[in-house]
């Protein structure tokens, strides 16, 4: 099997790559080749280096998408994109990367022809939904995004569904909740503080909380995000039906409950490293996001996430901190 990952240098892309290299298989078939693409060259893992091809490339550039699919990868994980805050601040860049790059990839698949029909797993977002919200968003709630990022993701969802309907590919869109705790340095995602208020204090650093503690959101760990992707790659087409874009499960809680979980696991001293500094842009963006979900379809299809925020923190400590917390 040949697997292609776009956006492979990003956090989820790196963790997905690591998981695939450990498993050496996908959907019960051995992985014979792994192609990794991003705007910067993804890291080549030494333990699987003979089977990995990495490229620094922009899907919007002429010929890049066509070359990416020219070797007919069986499964494509399309993770490439700019994050929510950046897409809101830079309209042109958001549409060029999140929409135009995705369209270039889907068109390259279509134009390959000769019966080529890969499974394409696309990372969408809960930002495709917009207020006013019901108490919990179910699988029938309509798409009314209130940010450019959410709009771009919704557009790609519709394209993915249309290309699937036409028999050009087998698409699955997974609407990710906020993925925490993200390791490494902060990025420009408006949701970045959800990770920051856990990651930085655990590392002995101060963190900034730009919203009220009453803010409610749904979260899943990077481990769960990778699990979502792998599970989506193996879903039988007949079980999906025509509605191929799915809300993923997660842990719904307030920021105050996040902080309480941090305090339970790491103590008062660590939790005290969080500083409250309101940010009007972040507040406006987050206010337009959904909060609670009833992801019945994805749960019935076998997608799984953590059941408590304590579990999410422990995943971060185990996988990214080597089991250690800064005093």
- Provide the annotated active-site residues: 149
Residues 6+ apart with CB under 8 A from 205: 273, 326
Would you tell me how many other CB atoms lie within 10 Å of the CB of residue 142? 8
- Continuous H helices in the chain: 11-23, 64-69, 84-89, 91-94, 101-112, 148-165, 192-202, 222-233, 237-240, 255-266, 268-271, 280-287, 296-300, 309-320
Pairwise CA distance, residues 280 & 318, whole Å: 34
Pairwise CA distance, residues 76 & 120, whole Å: 5
Pairwise CA distance, residues 193 & 310, whole Å: 17
Taking the CA atoms of the chain, what radius of gyration do you get in angstroms? 19
DSSP 135: S
Pairwise CA distance, residues 10 & 39, whole Å: 10
What is the distance in angstroms between the CA of the first residue and the CA of the last residue of the chain? 46
Could you write out the three-class secondary structure of 215-274?
A: CEEEEECHHHHHHHHHHHHCCCHHHHCCCCEEECCCEEEEHHHHHHHHHHHHCHHHHCCE
């Amino acid at each position: 099997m040949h697997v292609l990952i776009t956006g492979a240098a990003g956090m989820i892309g790196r963790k997905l790559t690591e998981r695939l290299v450990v498993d050496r298989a996908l959907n019960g078939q051995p992985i014979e080749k792994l192609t990794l693409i991003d705007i910067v060259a993804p890291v080549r893992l030494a333990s699987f280096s003979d089977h990995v091809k990495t490229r620094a490339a922009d899907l919007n550039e002429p010929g890049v998408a066509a070359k990416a699919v020219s070797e007919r990868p069986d499964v494509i994980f399309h993770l490439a994109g700019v994050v929510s805050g950046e897409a809101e601040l830079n309209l042109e860049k958001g549409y060029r990367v999140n929409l135009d790059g995705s369209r270039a990839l889907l068109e390259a698949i279509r134009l390959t022809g000769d019966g080529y029909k890969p499974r394409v797993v696309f990372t969408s977002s809960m930002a495709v939904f917009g207020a006013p919200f019901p108490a919990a968003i179910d699988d029938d709630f309509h798409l009314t995004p209130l940010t450019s990022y959410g709009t771009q993701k919704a557009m790609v969802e519709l394209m993915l569904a249309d290309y699937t309907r036409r028999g050009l590919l087998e698409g699955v869109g997974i609407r990710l909740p906020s993925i925490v705790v993200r390791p490494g340095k902060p990025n420009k995602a408006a949701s970045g503080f959800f990770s920051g208020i856990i990651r930085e204090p655990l590392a002995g650093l101060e963190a900034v909380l730009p919203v009220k503690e009453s803010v409610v959101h749904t979260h899943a760990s990077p481990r769960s995000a990778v699990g979502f992707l792998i599970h989506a790659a193996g879903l039988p087409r007949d079980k999906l039906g025509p509605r191929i874009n799915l809300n993923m499960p997660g842990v719904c809680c307030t920021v105050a409950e996040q902080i309480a979980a941090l305090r339970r696991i790491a103590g008062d001293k660590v939790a005290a490293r969080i500083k409250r500094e309101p940010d009007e842009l972040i507040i406006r963006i987050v206010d337009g996001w959904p909060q609670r979900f009833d992801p019945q379809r994805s749960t019935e299809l076998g997608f799984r996430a953590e059941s408590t925020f304590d579990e999410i923190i422990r995943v971060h400590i185990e996988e990214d901190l080597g089991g250690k917390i800064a005093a």
